[in-house]
Structure 1
Amino acid sequence: MIDHRFFLEDKRSLRLLVLGNREISGDSTDPEFIRSRVSQATQIPGSEIFLMDQEHGTTVIEADDFQEGVPKGDALFTTKPKKILVVKTADCLPIFFWTGRPALVGVIHSGWKGTLAGITEKTLGIVQKKYGIDLELVHFYLGPYATGKNYEVGEDVASLFRKEVPNSLKPASEPGKFLLEQKTFLTHRIKSLGVQPFLETAGVCTMTANSGYFSHRRGDTNRNLNCIWLE
């Protein structure tokens, strides 16, 4: 489990929580189970826990706009305290972000398709337009994901990343296969917005044996729960 508290410029705080295979015993693809488990871990009611029907797209949702149900989307943000934002991952990038001017938190589900499609850049553009945030003051944190140590792709995917950021790839041991580091590509994309990103990582590869987190590539059907909220 990852459990961090970060303080904002106005001395408010936010929490960042990632529940993995040591904390989850149940179907973490089921919305009701997710709300129940996250509520148990945080002591915040299930009605204040927001998640999406993720589809590897670029739909961005503000938690205040939620109606009943689970909307389709891959990025969530809010400026309101005690609203927990959740994305499910099992090798994809969970990208947490926040700023203190104004106090705002968000989380993005970014598989390789979403990374290429620009889900992060689109999300930042939306929150910048709506709240006037300074992108230079945004902090980023990558939760557990399939890193370039183990994340192998074929030439079909590799060619798409190579066109823009060749050094996001390294040859794998098998001919025609490559190891993809999405952090390298993501950093390039954020810099293309004119921003030098402050980006931290959990330092965990989901594909490593005994990582403590679910991995689709290792055959897991459950999902890690990546949560963030303003306290």
Structure 2
Amino acid sequence: MTTTIYQRDDDLLMGISLQNVNVPENNNMALHICENPETIINNRKQLAATINYPLEQFVCANQTHSATFYKVTKEDAGRGAFRNEDAIPETDALYTFESDIVLCSFTADCVPVLFYSKEDHLVGAIHSGWQGTVKEISLKTFEHLRDEERIDLNNVFVHIGTALSQERFEVDEDVFTRFKNLGYANDLMYLKESTHKYHIDNQLTVQKQCELAGIPSDNITVERVCTFNSDEGFSYRQNKKAGRHLSFIVQK
């Protein structure tokens, strides 16, 4: 299997590409870390064919672990799909009110967040590594949608995708302190006495940010699959040369 479809209906399609050792470069989807860019484009074209949307309708960002979000319009179609140079610069969250635009997020341990509101014809994709989480990218994106775009967050549904598990997310005190300073992640961390390392649940911290913005907890699903432990997961912590998953969402 090379793709998991989370939801497919008359209005919406969303899912994630998976690592597959039987596919060139293990089905890596990232141009910024690859052996051959042509292989990555071919992998993306295979994904495009699977979901029945041309690659020219994909929109990708150059992710920098920021707290920056960007409103995608039809004029952005194809940006970052075939080359990094025209991707949305220095951005880690994309959202759009347009139809037939495939928003993309690349991860290998970081938390991918896909969201939608059918009432508002809104979809979005967020990349939240631990740096993005302590910068509160999800919270800030949803606050912007609530306050500036006038979105009723009671109508927003969120899927938090496969990521590094708390067991595998082992950090030193400096990272622990940054999470502690958030003020709401204390119950999502523990100290392992035998190693003197802290373990943090990045997925549930992101979920907490969604809830703090005003999204009902019943509207949030969390895929508790660890990218390090899963054969279908790309894990930077396991292999610094790992490829990337592509999480995608598009409304019809």
Which bracket does the TM-score occupy, shorter chain normalised?
0.7 to 0.9
Give the match for residue 225 of structure 1. 246
Contact 1:151–1:207 (Cα < 8 Å) also in 2: no
Does residue 13 in structure 1 map to residue 22 in structure 2? Answer: no
Contact 1:35–1:49 (Cα < 8 Å) also in 2: no
Give 1:35 shift: 4.3
SS at match of 1:109: strand
Cα shift readout 1:106-141 (whole Å, capped 9, x = no counterpart): 010000111111111221123234542111221111
**What is the RMSD computed on CA atoms of the aligned residues?**
2.2
Contact 1:141–1:201 (Cα < 8 Å) also in 2: yes
Question: In the aligned structure 2, how far is the partner of 1:60 from the partner of 1:24?
Answer: 32
Question: In the aligned structure 2, how far is the partner of 1:123 from the partner of 1:24?
Answer: 35
Give the match for residue 51 of structure 2. 42
Q: Within 5 A, what are the aligned runs for 1:171-210? A: 171-172=191-192, 174-197=194-217, 198-210=219-231
Amino acid at match of 2:11: S
- Equivalent of residue 66 in structure 1, options 68, 76, 84: 76
Does residue 127 in structure 1 map to residue 145 in structure 2? Answer: yes
* Pair 1:209–1:194, CA change in 2 (3 A): closer
Amino acid at match of 2:220: L
54-63 or 195-204: bigger deviation: 195-204
Amino acid at match of 2:13: R
Give the match for residue 75 of structure 1. 93
Per the normalisation by structure 1, the TM-score is 0.88
- Equivalent of residue 92 in structure 1, options 88, 104, 110: 110
Give 1:171 shift: 2.0
SS at match of 1:58: coil
SS at match of 2:24: coil
Stretches of structure 1 that go unaligned for 5 or more consecutive residues are: none
Amino acid at match of 2:14: L
Contact 2:45–2:55 (Cα < 8 Å) also in 1: yes
Does residue 109 in structure 1 map to residue 127 in structure 2? Answer: yes
Question: In the aligned structure 2, how far is the partner of 1:66 from the partner of 1:14?
Answer: 20
Amino acid at match of 1:15: L
Question: In the aligned structure 2, how far is the partner of 1:136 from the partner of 1:188?
Answer: 15
Amino acid at match of 1:90: A
Contact 2:160–2:207 (Cα < 8 Å) also in 1: no
Cα shift readout 1:78-109 (whole Å, capped 9, x = no counterpart): 12222111111000000111112212110100
SS at match of 1:167: helix
SS at match of 2:226: coil
Task: List structure 1 runs of 4+ shifted beyond 4 angstroms.
Answer: none
* Pair 1:218–1:95, CA change in 2 (3 A): same
Does residue 150 in structure 1 map to residue 168 in structure 2? Answer: yes
Amino acid at match of 1:14: L
Question: In the aligned structure 2, how far is the partner of 1:78 from the partner of 1:218?
Answer: 34
* Pair 1:160–1:201, CA change in 2 (3 A): same
Does residue 140 in structure 1 map to residue 158 in structure 2? Answer: yes
SS at match of 1:160: helix
Per the normalisation by structure 2, the TM-score is 0.81
Question: In the aligned structure 1, how far is the partner of 2:149 from the partner of 2:17?
Answer: 30
Task: Report sequence identity in percent.
Answer: 23
Say how many residue pairs are matched. Answer: 226
Give the match for residue 187 of structure 2. 167
